[in-house]
Structure 1
């Protein structure tokens, strides 16, 4: 009887303190909560030697052997870094030499070098098991230079007279599709719908949106979004003017790679002592112009341009430290972080194909660990995905800003200078009589006389959570003591009962 009574008293305490502090019901994930990892299929991981068809690892313009199985093999690696979505370069069947995926030969087949459609379905399924999403490139503007349609007289009006002229080099001279032709339009929409229904992918990155008519994208968006709830369209509009995005956003494309922000952030973080003021001005402007600014994709580089690491190398800077600073900014602004494969090991590379080297999984882990921690923090605190941004201080390369959502406040400090910087924040900027606790390191600052003061080391950053002042939690101490006492009594009663049984 005593044993049951003690157990009934002990159990509620054990259950209560087994729960994580501040545990709340997880909100439904939206696309602004995602962290995207962009990888080039052929250059990531060779997981299946049976599809190594005429690969040449000595030729950067030839297939290197990366495939769907290789991605499946590394899904845990990607997930462990905190990435929630993988974006793949085109997976459609390509003409000879089309390792990049943009010389499309058949919209309804996978590239043989990458694997079968069944293997791709397995990839999507395995990603979904890990609660990760899969987005693929959809190219609606061009086909391969020797596509059968090009020589078909019956399909002459499927093409425009002009050829593609955009960079990088693999787009040069490609046949441009005529979206004004109803057959072309319907073919592309049917193919896009087929991939969703057949493989259960979660989104498309739409290449060169501004090279197709707005009316085409309006119908395209309507068609694909009718197939699957929460299907995401991330557009590419090569323009530094936010106004150029509006017509496509109104046509139904959810978000866009943030080209207006792209070059300024590369310039700001490629070397120390650069001002960050322009970055916040661009973000403020985007908040005013875009319908869904939190669906913009912030990025430093991708498969179409030289790697950001090259900028650092050219400035004689250590890439690891610069990348930490840059990624701290990328992960804490109100946009979706898009990270190009190899960033986690600071791969260097110039213009394509030098920027598409085979991934190396046996490198230093310091930057991997940092990215992992950034991912954990961003996913754990809704203020970093849903909160508004307020700039608290910005001068000479130092920036301090806060993200707020409901009753949660996160403060980010970025010191892009070559000297340690002292930061002082007043009660007008942050709620008084609380404390700032680092989510990255061990730093802590308490409000003293209405002011929070802390030091950010040179070329470094930190992320803080505004919390109530810590102190002795007497209720917690008493509860732990009570649990210990009850457990001791329970063990004593069990011992006494056992002793009676052995003596009877």
Structure 2
């Protein structure tokens, strides 16, 4: 009987310690590249040239787990309660024409930690310090490939049968066979594709994710190159991880991306990302209307198992810096409000709060490697407009969590009004109003069938808005609003 009680107690501890998908809905995630966030001991003397050379930007700059501990206050004061960090295994050291694996995606030895990020104790301490602040840690993981083929010393994948043979490169990303059996690299940068049909490879990867999550107490995983491994592989992998999982399927095809949510808790919402990039650009000729955004929302309901469990984002380490496409402060505010209060788990990429736009002096300077520059050149300024605004929005998310528990985050947004430049939707009893350009005439939103409230409080500005006797809500400018029913 004592043995049974001990077993049940251990099982209970495992259950309450693991962070499941439902618990993640109310979290907001701050994405960092470990090497680019903060070095140890406040030694901000590397990679500080402006502009940073391409060679320097493709090599290690010195960010570590200890450095991340030093800047946890910076993240906490922005209001984020989860951090997505880089993959932790050892990466190749040999330099390629694209530098080295400072980003963590060029695995060399799955059982060794990346020494440049710090020791095992440093990683454990970082996670523990984050947990003391109720900040969860999401680990980026790679099961699809290893580092550039400059060595055959991959461990434990040191036999030809552990890789898809012969080595080929994806020429057509609409060809699923190529996607799953060929390399995401190139002749210049071969990234050998792991044979995830091989029993040894399967067993190793599944055992590794289970052991790694348990050993270090990770709270969630982001899965790189999710579409490049057969879907059935992920069933056991995500199950053994035992925590919230979100997969990367980097394409705009909503039905295709949505199909992958049956093999992880969520997927990164790339279809929405591509729409937001067009809707909130400063470029008038290419800017899309709010009808485009509303249509995407309807597509989400058709093709996604549950959009509220997907990761939403405006940019990341693989895409253009969002602020390269807009510098209008009100347009930025509208985009951030949608990111933080639409269906999904918001992911905010480091540097946006410091107005990082990339390198304006080179072609394609908003993308890799210029979208991965060190944060310490900003001095971790906590007074920038976006830093303060995102802090405010995270405060509102916390308030909604306290007011409605999980109900706000579980509910799916419902369109109330949409025209060329304004979109109004309701989540639970909250109204969200966003626009992507100024307008001259007052807009009237009919609330007759959606709420009996005559007064609404804007959670951003604090203003009280009264609907008229026809139950019409007036919108006089393009500032974003988050409205809660108000009774005096």
Structure 2 length-normalised TM? 0.81
Please give the alpha-carbon distance, in whole angstroms, between the structure 1 residues aligned to 2:249 and 2:334: 27
1:398-454: CA deviations, max 9, x gaps? 1122211xxxx1111112222355232334244235201111003222233132433
Matches within 5 A, 1:427-466: 427-432=447-452, 434-458=454-478, 460-466=479-485
Match of 2:262 among 250, 260, 265: 250
1:274-323: CA deviations, max 9, x gaps? 411121221222123222221111111110122111122xxxxx354332
Change (3 A) 1:465 1:168: farther
1:142-168: CA deviations, max 9, x gaps? 112245446999711001123555778
Matches within 5 A, 1:3-22: none
State the partner residue of 1:234.
246
Please give the alpha-carbon distance, in whole angstroms, between the structure 1 residues aligned to 2:197 and 2:135: 36
1:99 aligns to what SS in structure 2? Answer: coil
2:39 aligns to what SS in structure 1? Answer: coil
Which structure would you say has the larger Rg?
1
Contact 2:78 2:391 survives alignment (8 Å): yes
2:203 aligns to what SS in structure 1? Answer: helix
Please give the alpha-carbon distance, in whole angstroms, between the structure 1 residues aligned to 2:410 and 2:88: 32
Match of 1:100 among 100, 103, 114: 103
Contact 1:413 1:463 survives alignment (8 Å): yes
State the partner residue of 2:392.
373
1:176 aligns to what SS in structure 2? Answer: coil
Match of 1:399 among 423, 427, 431: 423
Please give the alpha-carbon distance, in whole angstroms, between the structure 2 residues aligned to 1:94 and 1:218: 26
Change (3 A) 1:287 1:159: same
Matches within 5 A, 1:55-204: 59-96=56-93, 97-144=100-147, 145-149=149-153, 155-160=159-164, 161-163=166-168, 165=170, 172-204=189-221
Change (3 A) 1:29 1:250: closer
Change (3 A) 1:431 1:155: same
Change (3 A) 1:54 1:366: closer
How big is the shift at 1:462?
A: 1.3
Change (3 A) 1:124 1:151: closer
State the partner residue of 2:342.
333
Contact 1:168 1:305 survives alignment (8 Å): no
Structure 1: gaps (5+ residues): 1-27, 226-230, 313-317, 471-504
State the partner residue of 1:309.
323
Match of 1:261 among 267, 272, 283: 272
State the partner residue of 1:276.
290
How big is the shift at 1:456?
A: 4.0
More strand by share: 1
Change (3 A) 1:393 1:50: closer
Contact 1:55 1:65 survives alignment (8 Å): no
2:202 aligns to what SS in structure 1? Answer: helix
Contact 1:445 1:452 survives alignment (8 Å): no
Please give the alpha-carbon distance, in whole angstroms, between the structure 2 residues aligned to 1:392 and 1:54: 48
1:388 aligns with 2:412: yes
Aligned-residue RMSD, C-alpha: 2.8
2:102 aligns to what SS in structure 1? Answer: coil
How big is the shift at 1:112?
A: 1.2
State the partner residue of 2:179.
none
State the partner residue of 2:301.
287
Change (3 A) 1:464 1:167: farther
Structure 2: gaps (5+ residues): 1-20, 94-99, 171-182, 359-365
Structure 1 length-normalised TM? 0.78
2:76 aligns to what SS in structure 1? Answer: helix
How big is the shift at 1:384?
A: 4.2
Give the total of aligned pairs. Answer: 426
1:33 aligns to what SS in structure 2? Answer: coil
Change (3 A) 1:395 1:163: same
1:105 aligns to what SS in structure 2? Answer: strand
1:150-193: CA deviations, max 9, x gaps? 69997110011235557788994111100111001111112111
Contact 1:432 1:450 survives alignment (8 Å): no
How big is the shift at 1:128?
A: 0.9
Matches within 5 A, 1:204-215: 204-215=221-232
Farther off after superposition, 87-96 or 156-165: 156-165
How big is the shift at 1:324?
A: 1.4
